[in-house]
Every structure is written in structure tokens, then in C-alpha cells.
Amino acid sequence: MDLSILFVQIITGLAYGMLLFMIAAGLTIIFGLLSVVNLAHGALFMIGGYFTFTFINQHLNFWLALLISVILLAILGMLIERFLLNRMYGKELEQVLLTFGLIFIFTDLVKWIWGSSPKSISIPPLLDASLTIGVVTFPVYRLFVVVVGCAVALLLWYIESRTRIGAIVRAGVDDRHMLSSLGINFKLVFAGVFAFGAGMAGLSGGLGAPILGLYSGMDNDVLILSLVIVVIGGLKTWKGAFIGAILVGMVDTLGQVWFPSFSMVLIFALMVFILLIKPSGLFGKGVDA
């Protein structure tokens, strides 16, 4: 393999990693505050992609279509939290059944509305180009996705550590009852965080569609990888998910180039390896071996 192809694969791996990061970050933040593993998060990603596809077919430009999809996904997340999940706090089994059940509902709805043949979105014209530096040619859109992923990470860092909302969410993770005794309605915070996570999944789905295409079963692919990322990174930390997502995105992409039938095995080997060294995950707090 020559250098140019290797670089393209690396960028592709990074871009995929960033898409996974936006999903996994939502999973970890929701898990951290609400103690809920949202198994339907992959389905939200998929819906984000299909929404974007539909709005583009309605002759909206890509960016507007993406924006509307993100907002709709946030609203969908808010509805799921307010009307379904809020009855099930503290009941793990019910949460698993609910979010697992939502996967079936959403995947069937997608098949019903959009059919089961794969769809594709073309790369927005502005970014449909290649950038050549020396002998290496980079696909610009993938680079752009990497930049967006880093920008999301930066935004999360800023919100978490520099804003009052961030402090409220951290305090809610520490002691939500004390938080409410200080006059803060944590139900609203829960709904907001879930909506934010769903919006990020939608962003990932819309941004990813031009690269990955749209097909039934795509939700499952990203859900499994995102759960692996969450475990690798250390459950309640989106910072861990950032590193975990880069690792998993690279291993998955390069693995498919070099060992096409083993890429999933490689990812689980990576997970086992990291957990052997650090059982609580890369950035996890808690008992270490």
C-alpha cells in the first residue's frame, strides 16, 4: 500500500472515529447523569441520517437539512425522556427493555418510511474536493468531519468546565437531591441532557451519511462500536470516549483494509487489552487492578 492510500485510510479512520465519538459522548453523558444506557442511541444516529436525506430531497441544502435534523432529534430525545424514560429511573431492567424496544420500533419505522434499499447523500459541493499536499491527497469532507468532531469535543469541554449548566450537570451527577434542594429542577436538566445527547447522535448521523451511506442495520454497527468505546474510555467520561473513539475508528477502518474478516475481532482484542491494563477504562475513576 502506498503512502497516499495509507493517509487516506488514516483520515477515514479518524473521521469514522469522530462520528462514533459524537454518539459515544452522548451515551456517556446520559449514563453519567441519568444512569441509563440508551440502547436506542444508534437508532437516533440512523434517524438523523435519514432525516437529513429527506430534507435534502426536499431541496434544502445540506447544512440546513443537517441543522433541522439535529433539532428534530433533540426534540425526539426530549420526548423519549419526558414521556417514557422518566417512569423508569432506578429500574435497570425496564430501561434496557424500553431502549431495546425502541430500537425495533425505530428500525421498523425507518424501513416503513424509507424502504429497505440503501440510500446515499452526496457530499456537499463546498467540501467535495481533495487537498493535495506533496504526494498525499486528502478527501476534504473527511477532514471536515474530523474538525467538527474536535470542535464538538472542545464545545463539550467548554460547557462542562466553564458554564453554569456544566456545573449543574456535574453537581447532578454527584448528588441530585442536594441539587434540587438548592432550587434546581433536575428533571429539566435530565431532559435537556438527553435531548443534547440525541442531538449529537443526529449530528453524527447526518454528517456521516455522505461517507457511510444509509442502510438498515447501520444503527447496530455504530451502537456496538460506541458501547465498546464507552467501556474503553471509562463509562462516565466523554474525554475517555474521545480517545476510545479515535482508537476504535482507526482499528475498525485499518482493520477492514488489512484483515477484512477480522476487524471486529481486532476491536474486541483492543478492548480486552485496555481493560487488562486499566479495568476501569482509560479515563475511568474507580477500582483499578
Partner 1 sequence: MLKLEEVHTYYGNSHILQGLSFSVSEGKCTALLGRNGAGKTTTIHSIAGLTPPRKGKIYFEETKIDSAPPYRIARLGIGLVPQGRRIFPSLTVKENLTMPAREPRKQTRDKKWTLDEIYELFPALKEREHNMGNQLSGGQQQMLAIGRALMTNPHFLLMDEPSEGLAPVIIEQVGDIIRMLKENGLSILLVEQNLFLACSVADEVLVMNKGQIVWQGSPQELLANEEIQHRYLGV
Q: Give the binding site for partner 1 (CB under 8 A).
A: 164, 167-168, 170-171, 173-175, 177-186
Tell me whether residue 116 or residue 163 sits nearer to partner 1 (CB atom): 163
Q: Say if residues 27 and 181 touch (Cβ distance below 8 Å).
A: no
Tell me whether residue 92 or residue 175 sits nearer to partner 1 (CB atom): 175
Tell me whether residue 189 or residue 223 sits nearer to partner 1 (CB atom): 189
Tell me whether residue 59 or residue 164 sits nearer to partner 1 (CB atom): 164
CB of 184 to partner 1, least distance (A): 6
Distance CA 193, CA 81 (A): 9
Distance CA 241, CA 47 (A): 22
Task: State the cell numbers at 110.
Answer: 425507518
CB of 98 to partner 1, least distance (A): 24
CB of 180 to partner 1, least distance (A): 4
CB of 179 to partner 1, least distance (A): 8
Q: SS3 for 178?
A: helix
First to last CA, the chain: 40
Q: SS3 for 208?
A: helix
CB of 237 to partner 1, least distance (A): 11
Give, as one character, the DSSP assignment of residue 278.
Answer: -
CB of 285 to partner 1, least distance (A): 10
Tell me whether residue 82 or residue 119 sits nearer to partner 1 (CB atom): 82
Tell me whether residue 43 or residue 179 sits nearer to partner 1 (CB atom): 179
Contacts of 113 (CB under 8 A, 6+ apart): 50
Task: State the cell numbers at 45.
Answer: 444516529
Q: Say if residues 275 and 267 touch (Cβ distance below 8 Å).
A: no
Tell me whether residue 96 or residue 184 sits nearer to partner 1 (CB atom): 184
- Helices 238-258 and 263-277 sit at what angle, rounded to 10 degrees? 140
Closest by CA to 228, choosing from 18, 21, 2, is: 21
CB of 163 to partner 1, least distance (A): 10
Burial 109-140 (b: 16+ CB within 10 A, else e): ebeeebeeeeeebebbeeeeeeeeeeebebbb
